[in-house]
Amino acid sequence: MAMATRICSLARTRVARASLLGATTRGIKSSRVACSQSAAVRQVVEKALASSPGSPPQAIDKDRFFFDDADMKMLDHLGINTEVVFHNASPGVLYNEALLHEKGSAILSTGALVAYSGAKTGRSPMDKRIVDEPSTSGDIWWGSINIKLSEQTFNVNRERAIDYLNTRQRLYVFDGFAGWDPKYRYKVRVITSRAYHALFMNNMLIRPTPEELENFGEPDYTIYNSGAFPCNRATEGMTSPTSVSINFKSKEVVILGTEYAGEMKKGVFTIVNYLLPKMGFLTMHASANEGKNGDVSIFFGLSGTGKTTLSADPERALIGDDEHAWTSDGVFNIEGGCYAKAIGLTRENEPEIFDAIRFGTLLENVVFDERSGVVDYNDTSLTENTRVSYPLEYIPNAKIPAVGGHPTNIIMLTCDAFGVLPPVSKLTSAQAMYHFISGYTAKVAGTEMGVTEPSATFSACFGAPFMVWHPAKYAELLAEKMATHKVNVWLVNTGWSGGAYGKGKRMSLKVTRAIIDAIHSGDLAKAEYENYPVFDFQVPKSVAGVDSKMLMPAKTWANKAEFDSQVAELSALFKKNFKQFESGCSEDVRAASPK
């Protein structure tokens, strides 16, 4: 108890926001070298966090924070023996816990909670590892995306994570589901030392009913979030203090060295991205919504391309904003909530998201006025990647349960930093496969650590960081479903127009929404088209509510020579990227390459 008291005392000394964002890493840096072995980890941590002589023990207010029937030993079989466990605590309890124990947390004017993720304010994809073991090794697309990790190193990291959790006086456990279709859902348990993380996963996983929670049993997968403590860089396979590692054999995820909540969300997505395709079902980094006639649209795209914004349509029911599966029955959302970028958020442009910011919603790394509790969504002094997490049902027209039929339209979103792709193009089946496998966009500032301005990138299947199988696996599944259900496919550019990044302007949300509306109404499918050279796209001659000059990018550039140069450069990048996939593609797909 004395050691636990000292832990809480240390937490309360971190008072300034600046120190909050960096103190976790600084405070443990001196112990890294000494912690190469599991026993040494425990010894060093306990010594560092030992109570000072004479410190009086602090009793935990049990009457206020948990019920008599709470199981304080629910983690004992994992070797975690902390004093207090909050199991599926309500948002109100988690608010109280964050306000008491996490400096910088506050209740905002809307009733939402604000929290800070520390030094890491975006994902760390270079630190993701997957355990190389016989039962799954032959399935996995090994390389720069899925980096091999030995079982021995995983076990060292797991032990390090458990050692850290055992130094905490209180832990938070959330049990929830991944997947709205009961036939294909997975039980996930999250163990963390931060109330903020528990609230985040309460929003992002599907919350069980009281009866489902009572009968939850053992989880299919367990996430150990010890992100406030680093991995040991001297351990084989570790290249930084951060490690996010997945073991499909033991069905566990271990997080060290990053407190960014999005790592848990994407860890779950990576798991499902392995399991469902193994059963012959397509998983998609995509949003989905449904029209009044039951027509479903899928929006593929990486972070920053507009998936969340464009799928939150007041005229259509929201199925989900980021992660979906497509089975023989139709589509379903994998998540229980939404995780939207908050930068530049306004009620005028994104009313559904703006109005979802209320009690139970979590705002991450935003700047706010401490007197009024009002957020400045344009302030990026902490990070470009400000985020908001809220339950799916906070969107007024959300479809609950979040399942739908087979899609009518597939919309591939790209944020073109070159400014040369048309705002909308209708794709042939072969072009759809080519651009799905290519996954071109620009990484938008803030979505990953180190990205400060848009840069061209190719991400296979519009989600390579989360793909476990080779991209051809997902492409084959998509091709099969597109052919079976005769789906219209569109490429929509939400990036720059009239010039490349730095010279042109980003496509307005008003223009993109007009295009999406025309797709959903069926008007665009009946439009008259003209050919867009080099890429051989079919581009509509007119779209209601859009200046026809914008539809052909060359007409928006002041300098034609510069435009032609940018087209040539981008087409060359497409060709270079696709060489790695050519051998596994049919002739018609290879022919869909830019000329």
Residues 197 and 307 occupy one common structural domain:
no
33 pLDDT above the threshold of 60: no
Identify the CA nearest to 128 among candidates 335, 271, 299: 271
Q: Are 168 and 161 in contact (CB under 8 A)?
A: no
Q: Is the pLDDT higher at 500 or at 26?
A: 500
Q: Is the pLDDT higher at 454 or at 286?
A: 286
pLDDT of the residue at 586: 87
Q: How many domains does the chain have?
A: 2
Residue 364 lies in a domain: no
Residues 301 and 200 occupy one common structural domain:
no
Residue type, 128: K
Rounded distance, CA 372 to CA 14, Å? Answer: 23
CA distances to 267, 314, 444, 514 from 39, rounded to whole Å, are 28, 56, 42, 61
Task: Over range 425-438, report the average pLDDT.
Answer: 95
Task: Over range 565-582, report the average pLDDT.
Answer: 94
177 pLDDT above the threshold of 60: yes
Residues 165 and 297 occupy one common structural domain:
no
448 strand-pairing partners:
123
Cite the beta strand spans of 334-454 per DSSP E.
337-341, 362-364, 367-368, 375-376, 387-391, 403-404, 407-414, 424-427, 440-443
Task: Over range 104-114, report the average pLDDT.
Answer: 98
Rounded distance, CA 255 to CA 251, Å? Answer: 14
Please tell me the least confidently modeled range out of 6-20, 103-117, 151-165, 176-190: 6-20
Banded model confidence at residue 442, pLDDT cuts 50, 70, 90: confident
Residues 181 and 93 occupy one common structural domain:
yes
Burial 428-460 (b: 16+ CB within 10 A, else e): ebbbbbbbbbbbbbbbbbbbbbebeebebbbbb
Please tell me the least confidently modeled range out of 29-33, 157-161, 243-247, 522-526: 29-33
* Active-site residue, selected from the candidate residues 24, 308, 383, 459: 308
* Active-site residue, selected from the candidate residues 192, 245, 303, 425: 303
Rounded distance, CA 484 to CA 473, Å? Answer: 17
545 pLDDT above the threshold of 50: yes
322 is catalytic: yes
Residues 566 and 583 occupy one common structural domain:
yes
Which residue range is the domain that position 543 belongs to?
282-326+406-592
In CATH, what number is assigned to the domain containing residue 587?
3.90.228.20
123 is catalytic: yes
Residue 491 lies in a domain: yes
Sequence-ordered list of residues with C-beta below 8 angstroms from that of 22, at least 6 positions apart, any chain: 118, 119
Residues 157 and 302 occupy one common structural domain:
no
pLDDT of the residue at 404: 98
Burial 2-37 (b: 16+ CB within 10 A, else e): ebbbbbeeebeeeeeeeebbebbbeebeebbeebee
Q: Are 462 and 403 in contact (CB under 8 A)?
A: no
pLDDT of the residue at 453: 59
Residue 269 lies in a domain: yes
Residues 421 and 491 occupy one common structural domain:
yes
pLDDT digits (tens, 9 = 90+) for 386-416: 999 999 999 999 999 999 999 999 999 999 9
Sequence-ordered list of residues with C-beta below 8 angstroms from that of 314, at least 6 positions apart, any chain: 351, 352, 396, 397
Residues 459 and 505 occupy one common structural domain:
yes
* Active-site residue, selected from the candidate residues 128, 194, 266, 443: 266
Q: Are 270 and 131 in contact (CB under 8 A)?
A: no
Residue 497 lies in a domain: yes
Residue 241 lies in a domain: yes
In CATH, what number is assigned to the domain containing residue 76?
3.40.449.10
Among residues 247, 279, 311, which one ends one of the domains?
279
25 pLDDT above the threshold of 70: no
42 pLDDT above the threshold of 60: no
57 pLDDT above the threshold of 60: no
pLDDT of the residue at 303: 77
User: Residues for the chain: how many in total?
Assistant: 595
Beta strand 128-131 with 147-149: parallel, antiparallel or unpaired?
parallel
Question: Which DSSP helix (H) or strand (E) runs through 298?
Answer: strand 296-300
The residue behind tokens 């005229």 is 315
* Active-site residue, selected from the candidate residues 101, 158, 307, 426: 307
149 pLDDT above the threshold of 80: yes
* Active-site residue, selected from the candidate residues 168, 189, 285, 435: 285
pLDDT of the residue at 7: 34
Residues 196 and 241 occupy one common structural domain:
yes
Q: How many CA atoms lie within 13 A of 22 on its CB side?
A: 4
101 is catalytic: no
* Helices and strands, number each (H, E), in the chain: 17, 30
Rounded distance, CA 97 to CA 94, Å? Answer: 5
25 is catalytic: no
pLDDT digits (tens, 9 = 90+) for 473-492: 999 999 999 999 999 999 99
Residue 137 lies in a domain: yes
Sequence-ordered list of residues with C-beta below 8 angstroms from that of 170, at least 6 positions apart, any chain: 60, 82, 83, 84, 85, 86, 97, 101, 193
Q: Is the pLDDT higher at 423 or at 4?
A: 423
Residues 525 and 459 occupy one common structural domain:
yes
pLDDT of the residue at 578: 95
Q: Are 173 and 78 in contact (CB under 8 A)?
A: no
Residues 264 and 158 occupy one common structural domain:
yes
Structure-block tokens of residue 89: 């605590």
Banded model confidence at residue 447, pLDDT cuts 50, 70, 90: low
Rounded distance, CA 472 to CA 589, Å? Answer: 12
346 is catalytic: no
Task: Over range 110-119, report the average pLDDT.
Answer: 97
266 is catalytic: yes
Identify the CA nearest to 190 among candidates 168, 221, 160, 167: 221
SS (H, E, C) 470-532: CHHHHHHHHHHHHHHHCCEEEEEECCEECCCCCCCEECCHHHHHHHHHHHHHCCHHHCCEEEE
* Active-site residue, selected from the candidate residues 189, 322, 406, 512: 322
Among residues 279, 297, 317, which one ends one of the domains?
279
CA 498 to chain centre: 31
Residue 258 lies in a domain: yes
27 pLDDT above the threshold of 70: no
Biggest alpha carbon–alpha carbon distance for the chain? 82
The residue behind tokens 């848990």 is 264
Beta strand 440-443 with 170-178: parallel, antiparallel or unpaired?
unpaired
* Active-site residue, selected from the candidate residues 123, 158, 435, 481: 123
Q: Is the pLDDT higher at 112 or at 307?
A: 112
Residue 1 lies in a domain: no
Residues 445 and 534 occupy one common structural domain:
yes
Percent of the chain with pLDDT over 90: 81
Residue type, 472: A
* Active-site residue, selected from the candidate residues 42, 185, 207, 387: 387
Question: Which DSSP helix (H) or strand (E) runs through 307?
Answer: helix 307-311
46: left (phi over 0), alpha (psi -120 to 50) or beta: alpha
